[in-house]
Amino acid sequence: MKSVVTIREAAARSGVSAKMIRHYESIGLIAPPIRAENNYRFYDPRLIHELGFIHRARELGFSIADIGALLALWRDRNRPSAEVKAIALSQIAVLEAKADALRAMSATLRHLAAHCHGDDRPDCPILENLAGDQSITQSRK
């Protein structure tokens, strides 16, 4: 059992926390690891490599479902790359929509902050907006 490591070492090598490794195992994203007589989990290099794959996919914002599909395609050497590309293009659209939403939020907050005097007066368009008074954000449209 020289090439296998404990969950702690697998976490360190893959960048995935031990808690998430156990979660990925429980939802079937990764195969169950080798179990010793004492019931400790031991991870082989292939499984650690898959955990690294999952970690990189999570960094790119892929959902668990997409990661499962990507893992299945990665494991299948006869896969059509068109399926992989379709998943990637779909993720790009998701990320671009999120970026647009973040830009809109930033613009709204910038507008509200510009209209807040930031002094001793109690009037504050930021708080008014959060409380539901949309007149300040409506006036900029």
What is d(CA 2, CA 55) in angstroms, rounded to the nearest whole number?
Answer: 24
Assigned token pair, 96: 């671009």
Q: How far apart are the first and last CA of the chain?
A: 66
**Do residues 102 and 70 share a domain?**
no
**H or E element: which one contains 6?**
strand 5-6
- Give yes or no for residue 2 having a pLDDT over 80: no
1 in the same domain as 69: yes
What local confidence, expressed as pLDDT, does residue 121 receive? 85
Q: Distances in Å between the alpha carbon of 75 and those of 80, 102, 138?
A: 12, 35, 52
pLDDT band, residue 118 (cuts 50/70/90): confident
CATH code at 21?
1.10.1660.10
Rg (CA), the chain: 24
Q: Which residue among 79, 99, 131 closes a domain?
A: 79
pLDDT tens for 62-106 read: 999 999 999 999 999 999 999 999 999 999 999 999 999 999 999
Number of domains in the chain: 2
Which DSSP letter does residue 64 get?
H
Q: 7, 21 in Cβ contact below 8 A? A: yes
